[in-house]
Amino acid sequence: MFGSIKEILDKCESDGREFWRVILEDDMSDRNVDENESAQKMRELWDAMYQAAKGYDGSIKSASGLSGGDGKKMEEYIKTHECLCGDFMGKVITEALKMGESNACMKRIVAAPTAGACGVMPAILVPYYERMILQNINVEDNAENNITTDYGDNKSNNITTDNAEQKDKDTKAKKEADEKIIKALYVAAGIGEVIARRASISGARGGCQAEIGSASAMSARALTYLHGGHETQIINSASMALKNLLGLVCDPVAGLVEVPCIKRNVGGAVNAVSCSQMALAGIESRVPADEVIDAMAYVGDKMDETLRETGIGGLAGTPFGKKVADEIL
């Protein structure tokens, strides 16, 4: 296992391998599995993440009554075409809300890297995955071959066609998108591993910066890789994403992973997209990645325990937070 980003990059350079490949081989060594077993496990995680996104139910509420339905509201708002942030970012916001609510409603999710931050990565990967599939399908053939693609509740990219040749093209497009996503997950896992070893991914130890911050950095890396960024850009995107969320406290109202956790998933996802775009534009992080991670560890150690997942300080300590805690607990 790697203890620094520099160590991984040095390994990439010495072995002449891509970042994702180095992390895959590290997993093979760490878990004593072969390449197929490692990749299959990652595919299972991606499938669970994707199915969780598609299984969202906007009609249910969490047991506390604090969460539920916001993902559906955002989805409906996007359909009005009044969303200022554009279609892709609108979907990012929507998916983050959906996954956070699904977690609060005890639905199956993928902790990436934690349950509290489970909405950040799928918020980026699911819309981008569907975008990749659509780009690989001949748009001019859509009407002729009866191809339909839907984005909405419990729908994936539903592709139907009467043309056998087009079916083959669609299947190939999906396979290529799947494999690209798997590689992106390894890219994300690389920095997640370093953060976990060098600092923490636990809100109880490092505050929400350790959860949403780590998820945002991982997601920025994945998105930058998917969008064709080179290694320097990929690293810069993660460094900027983590820097932006340094000092973020973990203050769950009534100790539940709902308020403000769900909407912070949105913040982490939007931050990841912004930092990825800056990195792809050539904007650099002045502070090296490993030093940013060390700074996060320092801030987490200095953070008062009332702001580290105890449900005491911050928003949890407001009159509203105390009232909810009294009613629920």
Question: Mean of the pLDDT values across residues 170-191?
Answer: 93
pLDDT value at position 133?
Answer: 83
Residues 6+ apart with CB under 8 A from 37: 28, 31
Tokens of 286: 């002045």
pLDDT at residue 274 above 50?
A: yes
| Distance from chain centroid for Cα 202 | 16
In this structure, of 66-70, 165-169, 251-255, the range with the lowest mean pLDDT score is 165-169
Question: Mean of the pLDDT values across residues 86-91?
Answer: 94
pLDDT value at position 146?
Answer: 37
Q: Domain residue spans in the chain?
A: 5-328
Residue 44, H or E segment = helix 35-54
Question: Mean of the pLDDT values across residues 90-101?
Answer: 98
pLDDT at residue 135 above 80?
A: no
Residues 6+ apart with CB under 8 A from 88: 127, 128, 131, 273
Higher pLDDT, 173 or 73: 73
pLDDT grade for 172, boundaries at 50, 70 and 90? confident
Spell out a b/e string for 178-215, using b for 16 or more CB atoms within 10 Å of the CB, else e.
beebbbbbbbbbbbbbbbbebbbbbbebbbbbbbbbbb
Which value, in Å, is the radius of gyration of the alpha carbons in the chain?
20
Question: Mean of the pLDDT values across residues 94-112?
Answer: 97
pLDDT value at position 1?
Answer: 85
Helix axes 289-302, 231-244, angle to 10 degrees: 20
pLDDT value at position 147?
Answer: 32
pLDDT value at position 98?
Answer: 98
pLDDT grade for 161, boundaries at 50, 70 and 90? low
| Distances 45 to 136, 168, 302 between C-alpha atoms, Å | 24, 25, 34
Question: Mean of the pLDDT values across residues 214-236?
Answer: 97
CA distance 290 to 145: 51
Higher pLDDT, 328 or 51: 51
Mean pLDDT (the chain, rounded): 92
pLDDT at residue 292 above 80?
A: yes
CA distance 137 to 119: 28
pTM of the model: 0.91
The DSSP output letter for 254 is G
